[in-house]
Every structure is written in C-alpha cells, then in structure tokens.
Amino acid sequence: MNLLELYHVEKVYGEKENQVRALKGINMQVKEGEFIAIVGTSGSGKSTLLNLIGGLDTPTRGKILIKGKETDALTRKELTIFRRRNIGFVFQNYSLMPVLNVYENVALPISFDRGRHHNRKYIEELLRELGIWEKRTKYPHELSGGQQQRVSIARALVNKPAIVLADEPTGNLDSATTVEVIGLLKASCRKYKQTILMVTHNEAIAQTCDRIIHIEDGKIVSGNQIFDVGSASLKGGDDLC
C-alpha cells in the first residue's frame, strides 16, 4: 500500500508580479517503510514539498493523500490532530524549546495531545537509543549541536509517526555526527516501519537511501520510477485534482 500519494501538486507563493511557482505538478507515491532522499539545488522546492506533505502549508492545486486520507478534506482541527499523530518533523536548526529540558522537549508533542498519556518507558527507550538519556535534565543550550539534533529526532519519533520529514537534519553537523544521526534515523525507520523523507545536500548520504528523488525548478526530474510505471493511465487525468 502507498503510504503517501501526491497528484499534480502545485504551490504558488505571492500574488501577480511577485508570484513564485515553487512546485509545478508533483506526482509521487511512497511506500510504507521507504527511506527517501530528496535532493536538488537551492530554491528548487524541497522544503516547500516537505511543508505541504506535513500540512504546515496547503497546496495551491492538487491532492495529497496520507494513508489514503486526503489532507485537504480535513478541517484545520482535524489536520492538527492528524499531523501530530502521523507526522514527525526534524528541522536543520533543531527548533527545541529553550525553557524546557531534554525530557520535556521530547514529551512536548504528547503533552499537546489530551487524549494521550506520556509513555515514560518509551521516552526512556528512545532517549537511551539516541544516547541522550544521561542528558535528560539538561537544557538545549547545555548540549552540543549533535546532541540537540538527537533530541529533536527523539521528539519527532515520540508519537511513533508513520512519516518522518527531515529537512537537512545534518546540515549543521560534522561528518562523524552526521553518520551517527543518519544511522539513528535508519534504525528507527526499520524498527517502527516508518517512512522517512529527508532533504539532504550530502550526495554520499543520499546514495545510502532506498530512493533518491531529484527536484529541480519545482519538478521531479528523477527518482519517481514507482509512479512512472502507472502514470500512463493518469495522462490527461486532471479530473483527479
């Protein structure tokens, strides 16, 4: 089953003469458990694509389906809950809360979700696996970049999301820490059958992923073999939008 499907997705920012067509008709299908690298030059639309998939922004045209559910059909409130339970984000700048310690930062997505309880055992397991259990009472400013990124990975994984979206997660890390962080993401992907879409500028890392999707000028230029097989039947299929 496809966990994620995009049909003719377009994103236009701004109005009139300030318009930027950031995505120009993206079609893609992703299977459960795939670890995908997204590559492309600066400004090609990689972050825009992740933001749309993650529901941080909405497409101008087209459809996005996660677990067969059309995200556009959800109300804002439903989308927030759906996103929190199904999607984990890892950003380049970590985006940790400075006033919360490591444990509290990781538990934060659960705290927002009233229907759910803290699974202390699972949080401990995650922190131990990521090698930051000993740092659980420390604050972000007391940690190295690599440690902060591991906290942000733990936070992204705490709800056991089906999809993890990582936007240059190792962009600020040295090469040894990069290898470590990618290894942790991969291990998590395998253990919890998670699907990971990771933007990276690192060619060597991209080569270790299951698939590389290359975006240029808002279009997928390679890496979409799975979709291409069935795309003939979608030709002229604007009724899908």
Residue ranges binding ligand ATP (CB under 6 A): 13-14, 20, 22, 40, 42-48
Instruction: Please count the other Cβ atoms lying within 10 Å of the Cβ belonging to residue 17.
Output: 5
**Distance, CA of 220 to CA of 209 (rounded, Å):** 17
- Distance of closest approach, residue 111 Cβ to ligand ATP, in angstroms: 28
Which of 170, 228, 161, 220 shows the shortest CA–CA distance to 195?
Answer: 161
Instruction: Confirm if 224 and 31 have CB atoms less than 8 A apart.
Output: no
Q: At 132, which amino acid appears?
A: I
Q: Are 39 and 200 in contact (CB under 8 A)?
A: yes
- CB nearer to Mg ion: give 47 or 105: 47
Q: Closest approach of Cβ 62 to ligand ATP, in Å?
A: 16
| Residue 54 or 143 with smaller CB distance to Mg ion | 54
In the complex, least distance from residue 59 CB atom to ligand ATP, rounded to whole angstroms:
13
* Phi, psi (rounded to 5 degrees) for 67: 50, 40
Give the one entry of Mg ion, ligand ATP, none that residue 170 binds, where binding means its C-beta sits below a cut-off of 5 to 8 angstroms depending on kind: none
Q: Closest CB to ligand ATP among 18 and 207?
A: 18
Under 8 Å between Cβ of 169 and 153: yes
Tell me how far apart the alpha carbons of residues 161 and 168 are, in angstroms, rounded to a whole number.
19
Q: Which is nearer to Mg ion, 47 or 159 (CB)?
A: 47
- Nearest residue to Mg ion, by Cβ distance, number only: 47
CB of 168 to ligand ATP, least distance (A): 7
Q: Counting contacts by CB under 5 A, is residue 47 touching Mg ion?
A: yes
Q: Are strands 87-90 and 2-13 parallel, antiparallel or unpaired?
A: unpaired
Which among 11-19, 40-48, 66-74, 85-93 is the span making contact with Mg ion, rule CB under 5 A? 40-48
CB closer to Mg ion, 147 vs 200:
200
Element (H, E) at 223: none
Contact of residue 22 among Mg ion, ligand ATP, none (CB under 5-8 Å per partner type): ligand ATP
Q: Which residues bind Mg ion (CB under 5 A)?
A: 47
